[in-house]
Amino acid sequence: MTAPTPFTPEAPAALVAAGARPRVIGLDIAMGITGIAGEGWTDHVKARGQSQHSRFEQQLIGIADHIRAADFVVIEGAAYGHNNTGADALAAMRWMVRHDLWKRRIPYAVVTPGQRMIYAVGTAAPKDPETGKRLRGDALKGALRDAVAETYGIHTEGPARYDEADAHILMAMGVHWLGWPLAVVPDTHRRALDSVRWPDRATVVAR
């Protein structure tokens, strides 16, 4: 879905001189629903296969349709120390996507869930303003989704709403790192960019 962004700053002169604005895609990879986002839009890929291999195939094909023309891709990585059922398959899925990007010579960066949350709301562990308790589950996902709507004017809906919102934040982080922030981001949020392991910026801009 699309919506205008409320803030459109000028790109730094050095990056403008280097060429057109790079096309950045955000990916919140999952075995069931993968959230995908670009500037002004979000989408998703839903795997319906009966076997693990068929779901891998459906996800890889669907993701490839969105990244083949990308200049730079930002992927959500694993939460450190996180362990749950299906983690092995998800790790494999993420690495297959990275390998596909490598084969296509498309630069990418991996952002942790904590870094993504800090960029969206200013902290990796937001709390309920009424109870003071740490948000978890859908409440935590909803906080990020609300931030996407309030900051960028992008309203994600339906079963993939949280996945698409996550992908939009990842994309926004990549665009900001390149020098074209999509909105005014306070330092409490922007600091998330400092801890991400980014590729060579000149390589991305030169594509």
Name residues whose C-beta falls within 8 Å of residue 195's C-beta, 6 or more positions apart in sequence.
115
CB burial string 156-191: b at 16+ within 10 A, e below: beeebbbbbbbbbbbbbbbbbbbbbbbbebeeebbe
**Domains of the chain, earliest start first:** 13-205 (3.30.420.10)
Q: Which tens digit of pLDDT belongs to each residue from 151-203?
A: 999 999 999 999 999 999 999 999 999 999 999 999 999 999 999 999 999 99
What's this model's pTM, rounded to 2 decimal places? 0.89
83 contacts: CB under 8 Å, gap ≥ 6: none
Instruction: Read off the tokens for 116.
Output: 């993504």
User: Contact 97/57 with Cβ under 8 angstroms?
Assistant: no
For residue range 79-89, list pLDDT tens digits in order: 755 556 578 88
